[in-house]
Amino acid sequence: MQQGRVIQSTGSWYLVDTGDEIIESRLPGRFRLEGKEVTNPLAVGDKVDLTINDDGTGNIEKIHVRENYITRQATHGKRGEQILVSNLDQACVVQSIKQPKLKEGFIDRFLVTCEAYEVHAVVIINKLDLAKSGGKAFAEELRELYTSLGYAFLTTSIEDHQSLKKLKELLTDKTTAFIGPSGVGKTSLINALDPNFDFKVNEISDFSSKGKHTTTFARLIPLSFGGFIADTPGIREFGLVNIEPWELSLFFPEMLEPRENCQFSNCTHEHEPKCGVAEAFERGEIAASRYNSYLNMLDSLK
């Protein structure tokens, strides 16, 4: 029996990295009956035991219990959740300062999901080379906000070697996922990490290719300096996990203390009287963009 890590899924075949080689492997049908709450029984990032057949292909015998994972709503009209990547040390939400427009709501939804799944979250703002002074100042405001909340934060550009060096440091010896909308440069950043990488990126740089996804499946890429990076297809919106409206503020670090002062234990901090969160917001202790994201998310939970 060998151990390995699923690095790619092509439907009926899986590529498993054992550390020494990459083995095309099959998953016996019995696994498909288990874990029906998700649409994929085996996900990129999963750790597995496998036996090797005479023809060199592998048979997956056991899927190790997942330490954590990130899901998205299943596509192609299927119901339920699809696991994007599992067994992560950290997940990075990637946004671009422009082209496409930066969406704070996306970042905040992602951060709530990471809090709920107990995945260490990082915020990356890419394409800093396109930012004028206003854009650069905005990026610095975001850095201040998100670092004050306890999240790691990085600005990058595929043309700025210093920023790529910092990115490499962040990724070394870890399993990391890049998650973000289409066109923000997830694959481009990965290509910039290693001269041997040549993954497909969107060739149209003037951003007229709205809605076109260049990366269409998740894959885990072994890094020469140690660790794995998961490239994932662009997602338009981050679906929220199943949480009750009154629980949402538990996933906003800056609301944890203020919510202790609410009159009602099930306060949703929207309209209730004597609300500690609303008071903290009035005092300027909660950023407007964060409170706004909170209210939007609350709306979609109701």
Ligand X SMILES: Nc1nc2c(ncn2[C@@H]2O[C@H](COP(=O)(O)OP(=O)(O)OP(=O)(O)O)[C@@H](O)[C@H]2O)c(=O)[nH]1
Tokens representing 266?
Answer: 């099930």
CB of 205 to ligand X, least distance (A): 4
Assess contact for 232 and 218: CB atoms under 8 A.
yes
Q: Is 286 in the site for Zn ion (CB under 5 A)?
A: no
Instruction: Return the amino acid letter for 279.
Output: E
> Of Mg ion, ligand X, Zn ion, none, which one sits near residue 41, judging by CB under 5 to 8 A according to partner kind?
none
What DSSP letter does each residue of 19-67 carry, written as one string? SS-EEEEE--THHHHS-TTBS-SS-TT-EEEEEE-TTS-EEEEEEPPPS
Q: DSSP letters along 63-80, please? A: EPPPS-EEEEE-STT--S
**Minimum CB–partner distance for residue 148 and Zn ion (Å):** 21
Least distance in angstroms from the C-beta of 99 to ligand X: 7
Q: Among all chains, which residue has been given the structure tokens 């979609």?
A: 300
| Closest to Zn ion by CB, 70 or 262 | 262
Binding site for ligand X (CB under 6 A): 126-127, 129-130, 157-158, 182-188, 201-202, 205, 213-215, 233-234
**255 belongs to the binding site for Zn ion (CB under 5 A):** no
Rg of the chain (C-alpha set): 21
Q: Which pair of tokens denotes residue 104? A: 């704070």
* Residue 60 CA: distances (Å) to CA of 163, 250, 272: 39, 39, 53
Residue 48 is classified by DSSP as E
Among Zn ion, ligand X, Mg ion, none, the one that 126 touches (CB under a kind-dependent 5 to 8 A) is ligand X
Q: Residue 209: which of ligand X, Mg ion, Zn ion, none does it interact with, CB under 5 to 8 A by kind?
A: none
Residue 154 within binding range of Zn ion, rule CB under 5 A: no
User: Which helix (H) or strand (E) covers residue 201, if one does?
Assistant: none
For ligand X, the closer of residues 50 and 201 by Cβ is: 201
Please state the closest distance from residue 181 (CB atom) to Mg ion, in A. 10
Q: Is 42 exposed, middle or buried (0-12, 13-18, 19+ CB in 10 A)?
A: buried
Contact status: 275 vs Zn ion (CB under 5 A) = yes
Does residue 40 belong to the site contacting Mg ion (CB under 5 A)?
no
Among 79, 95, 82, 90, smallest CA distance to 117 is for 90
Q: Enumerate residues 182-201 that contact Mg ion by CB under 5 A.
A: 186-187
Residue 91 contacts which entry, Zn ion, ligand X, Mg ion, none (Cβ below 5-8 A, type-dependent)? none
Name which position in 40, 95, 214, 293 contacts Mg ion (CB under 5 A). 214
Q: Quick one: angle between helices 104-117 and 288-301, nearest 10?
A: 70
Site size with Mg ion, rule: CB under 5 A:
4
Distances (CA, A) of 5 to 9, 20, 47, 220, 301: 11, 11, 5, 9, 35
Instruction: Output the smallest distance, CB 216 to Mg ion, in A.
Output: 9
Task: Return the residue of 16, 85, 221, 262 that touches Zn ion, per CB under 5 A.
Answer: 262
- Report the partner that residue 275 touches, choosing among ligand X, Zn ion, Mg ion, none (CB closer than 5 to 8 A by kind): Zn ion
Task: Please identify, using beta-carbon distances, which residue of 113 and 126 lies nearer to ligand X.
Answer: 126
**Total H helices, total E strands in the chain:** 7, 13
Q: Which residues bind Zn ion (CB under 5 A)?
A: 262, 267, 269, 275, 277
Q: Applying CB under 5 A, which residues contact Mg ion?
A: 186-187, 214-215
